[in-house]
Structure 1
Amino acid sequence: MKRTKRWLLTALVMGVGLGSIGSVGHAATTDPQGFITQLTSPVTSVANQYKLYPSVMMAQAALESGWGTSTLTTQANNYFGIKGSYNGQSVSMKTAEYDANGQLYYTTANFRKYPSAKASMTDNAQLLRNGTAYNPKIYSGAWRENAATYSDAANSLTGVYATSPSYGSTLISLIKQYNLDTLDDSGSSSGSAADSGASSTTTTKPTVTYATAKYYGATGTQTGRLSAKHTSYVLYNHVKNTRANITKTSWKKLSDYTGQPVYLDMRAVKTDPKSGKKTTWYRIRFSSKTTAKKYWLYTAGLTLPTVKYTSGTATVKVNSGLKGNYYNHVFNSPYLAKSMGSLKKLTAKSYIADNQAVKTQDGYKTTWYRIKVGSKKYWIASTEAAASPQYDYVVYTAASGTKKLSSKFSKYHVYNHVKKTHFDQQTLKWPSGSKKGTKVTVDLKGTKPAYKTTWYRIQFSGNKTKYWVDARALQ
């Protein structure tokens, strides 16, 4: 059983159809309450049969189908974007997908066509209960016996049922906004008391407070290596302690070794519910194939590239026709990066950069610049052809001896580098007591051929700081 790679893509790409509720059995409506009313019977019946939360199923159906208005829903009663065929029935539609590099593309695919809304609900419930061929319990966090509340069930689907890091929180918002938790009280003894605060006369398990995690999706081609201490940590199918029935995988089942490269496609920052302590986790796989089995590993189990950031300013020239992408973070940094677009879309000849990053990975250094594009900022690699900062050219020669400050010295500034030659350019202050005739020592000379100007690196007596200044400030 296959699904679209991103929730709601089918609804967004194929538009909406405002068909009426009739014999075909779909609930197309621009009125959310009408949608809920029409689907209450099949949702509660199916969810309770498979021991799932009706509130979560209703929220998923609403979210995935655009409240029943997607073309896929109106034409095929397919509320969850499930691909393939159902009893030999399918419809072919255009849909949006993401490739391994996080790039959006469009393709045509076959989607299951159901005879009724209930058939769609049942098919999706069976998916949640039976899982996939490689992991039958992949959705077990959504089962009522494992999820103490509808919130736990909804959050368990994040990064598993859908790659969106906000998938669970979006479902929870819908449930709260439309009071969908009232559906959980019908036909099920477990109810939803833990979410609603309602009392119950039945014996219930103590409420478990799980850690929360904020997820950051990323382009899946980024890599790290297993650290020397990786076997001291455990591989999980979810971030540890964030939900019920999380499973472990023993390193003994894997042919792992220190320094082994692994692929990373998601980062999570977990917050402990008691101490508030935050820890970072990564979702890894041992193959470049995006379909390979994924595990969550604590950051100390990995050796990640190091990045040194420097604030400053520079004009970065970007020629047209470049290959590659620009990102929300430095690619392959510990933050992980998501592609935000192709470099071909950067139509201006130059951009202002306000941050420089030098990344070291496996001993190899690369430089990145954060450029401003409109009102937003993105990272671009200086290794991309002709994407480089523009500095003044300087010829340096050795110098020695002493000079004195001229009568016009205060009209000039002193810098940590020759002006407009380095990213971390800083304008410094003249030392206290500087005046005409103050003697300084010279140890280096810089000449800008394009401007025919001369600069000297000077040092004041008793001051360890070295300053660059225009030669006209000296005599």
Structure 2
Amino acid sequence: MKRTKRWLLAALVLGVGVGGFTISKGTGHAATTDPQTFISTLKSPVTTVANKYKLYPSVMMAQAALESAWGTSTLTTTANNYFGIKGAYNGQSVTMQTSEYDSNGQLYYTNANFRKYPSAKASMTDNATLLRNGTSYNPTIYSGTWRENAATYSDAANALTNTYATAPTYGSSLISIIKTYNLSSLLDGSSTSSSSSSSNSSSADTAAPKPKPVVYDKATYFGASGTQTARLNAQYTSYRLYNHIKGTREKVTKTAWNKVRAGQDVQVYLDMRGVKKATTTGKKTTWYRLKFTDSSSAKKYWVYGKALTLPTVKYTKGSATVKVNSALSGSYYNHVFNSPYLAKSMGTLKKLTAKSYTADNQAVKTQDGVKSTWYRIKVGDDKYWIASTETAASPQYDYVLYSAASGTKKLSAKYKKYTLYNHVKKTHFNQESYKWPSGSKKGAKVTVNYKGLKTAYGTTWYRIQFSGNKTNYWVDSRALA
């Protein structure tokens, strides 16, 4: 819903008499509608809608009177538009002249499209929805008008100044109408009409709680090193580009996709990740800061992670000794480089002075169809990720010469001294050991289906199966007779 901060061409200077009001000199002729008739006519839709949306009916009535010149403005008589809301309502609109205040506070005139409503109640409901839902850039911009936040109608009226309208006296004009026609007593069910911001506030208003401050979602940010990339996916247009993570601060602005070089599968460059936690629900979402070229001066935007196709990473726990070539100019990272976590360099390979390190996790990353393997190594009390390449870091496994085998063998008397594995020992990262199956005993027959020779140690290994069990186990040949 779009609402421009504005002041209608028929801006009012209120009279104090019950007979009505006058128009500022030079802006038109005096209206003839009786304010009491206006109030009586709109009392039902105003109270119904305002109470439904937990707003002050007195403030809504005063707004309607002020914005519509007590129902005499052309916009109201032709379009049932009591609040000067621009745009179209169910496709219906009218073009009217309106006045605006520029950034320097100077008044100027322009033509604009305003919503055309089927009834006064529809206009009231649309305005109430606006006050409750706010704008796309700030959903809580009008939260000061909500009855749970505004202790008095005066607080609610003043909360509309510099938010709903740019006129500096907007709130005081509304309060003047409410007091003149006793709208608080008539509509709000209360005779209290004092403003909490006034020096003449009652003791009840003074003790009333202040409006709650706007609470934004919290975000935790994680920096990234180097050029890390992703691609816009098929659903990217369902999301938006922002100058900050949406909902984490005021005045977050959007940028349309047609303003940038966007398209499905277009590569983007990422330099930061943010995890947002919603204040109301606690839900966490992941966002990325991107740019459309790798230039350091390129403009940056934030986007929800679901708009991107990111590399996939499969992690496997295990154990291996990783040899590192510290003579190279590469880096080690806090995460796999270019993973969905994004990675930050924690140092160069030259700082890794040991020849080998113990790894406890393996990651296989797939990006644009290309796979790469990474290992998490322990350096002192810390753990870092390093790429597994022939020149940078390579896991050290025992060499095995494999060959086909068949037939049966029996468990030896010393079989329990040896362990069953999923691979020949010290040959794979995801090495696992198993207990001997129930029924295992000296002389029990097993089927042999593969053979491995560790040439460096001169030991032989067999891959076996137990009767009624299709699981393959590797075991040292000395466990067999």
TM-score, shorter chain, exceeding 0.5? yes
Percentage of matched positions with identical amino acids: 69
Corresponding residue number in structure 2 for 1:350 = 356
Q: Which runs of 5+ in 1 are unaligned?
A: 1-140, 149-188, 191-198
Q: Alignment partner for residue 419 of structure 2, among 413, 417, 437?
A: 413
Contact kept, 8 Å, 1:356 with 1:423, in 2: the verdict is yes
Whether 1:432 aligns to 2:438 is yes
CA distance in 1, matches of 2:292, 2:390: 28
Corresponding residue number in structure 1 for 2:174 = none
Letter in 2 for 1:315: T
CA distance in 2, matches of 1:242, 1:384: 45
Corresponding residue number in structure 2 for 1:56 = none
Q: Which runs of 5+ in 2 are unaligned?
A: 1-136, 145-195, 198-204
CA distance in 1, matches of 2:209, 2:425: 75
Corresponding residue number in structure 2 for 1:239 = 245
- Aligned residue for 1:472, secondary structure, equals helix
Corresponding residue number in structure 1 for 2:114 = none
CA distance in 2, matches of 1:200, 1:444: 88
Corresponding residue number in structure 2 for 1:383 = 389
Q: Deviations over 1:46-70 (max 9, x none)?
A: xxxxxxxxxxxxxxxxxxxxxxxxx
CA distance in 2, matches of 1:432, 1:298: 53
Contact kept, 8 Å, 2:242 with 2:253, in 1: the verdict is yes
Highest Rg: 1 or 2? 2
Equivalences, count: 284
Whether 1:256 aligns to 2:262 is yes
Q: How does 1:66-145 map to 2 (within 5 A)?
A: none
Corresponding residue number in structure 1 for 2:218 = 212
Q: Alignment partner for residue 396 of structure 1, among 398, 402, 405?
A: 402
Contact kept, 8 Å, 1:220 with 1:263, in 2: the verdict is no
Contact kept, 8 Å, 1:406 with 1:473, in 2: the verdict is yes
Letter in 2 for 1:320: S
CA distance in 1, matches of 2:266, 2:462: 50
CA distance in 2, matches of 1:300, 1:392: 43
Whether 1:333 aligns to 2:339 is yes
Q: Once the 2 structures are TM-superposed, how far is the Cα of residue 435 of structure 1 from its aligned partner?
A: 0.2
Contact kept, 8 Å, 1:381 with 1:387, in 2: the verdict is yes
Letter in 2 for 1:459: Q
Q: Deviations over 1:87-130 (max 9, x none)?
A: xxxxxxxxxxxxxxxxxxxxxxxxxxxxxxxxxxxxxxxxxxxx
Corresponding residue number in structure 1 for 2:110 = none
Provide the alpha-carbon RMSD of the alignment.
2.5
- Aligned residue for 1:300, secondary structure, equals helix
CA distance in 1, matches of 2:475, 2:390: 34
Contact kept, 8 Å, 1:322 with 1:384, in 2: the verdict is no
- Aligned residue for 1:410, secondary structure, equals helix
Corresponding residue number in structure 1 for 2:293 = 287
Question: Normalising by the residue count of structure 1, what TM-score does the alignment of the two structures yield?
Answer: 0.57
Seen in structure 2, the aligned counterparts of structure 1 residues 205 and 237 have a Cα distance that, compared at 3 Å, is farther
CA distance in 1, matches of 2:250, 2:476: 67
Seen in structure 2, the aligned counterparts of structure 1 residues 296 and 201 have a Cα distance that, compared at 3 Å, is farther
**Which one is further off, 327-336 or 315-324?**
315-324
Seen in structure 2, the aligned counterparts of structure 1 residues 254 and 205 have a Cα distance that, compared at 3 Å, is farther
Q: Deviations over 1:119-172 (max 9, x none)?
A: xxxxxxxxxxxxxxxxxxxxxx9xxx99x9xxxxxxxxxxxxxxxxxxxxxxxx
Letter in 1 for 2:332: Y
Q: Once the 2 structures are TM-superposed, how far is the Cα of residue 368 of structure 1 from its aligned partner?
A: 0.4
Letter in 1 for 2:296: T
Q: Once the 2 structures are TM-superposed, how far is the Cα of residue 254 of structure 1 from its aligned partner?
A: 1.9
Seen in structure 2, the aligned counterparts of structure 1 residues 255 and 393 have a Cα distance that, compared at 3 Å, is same
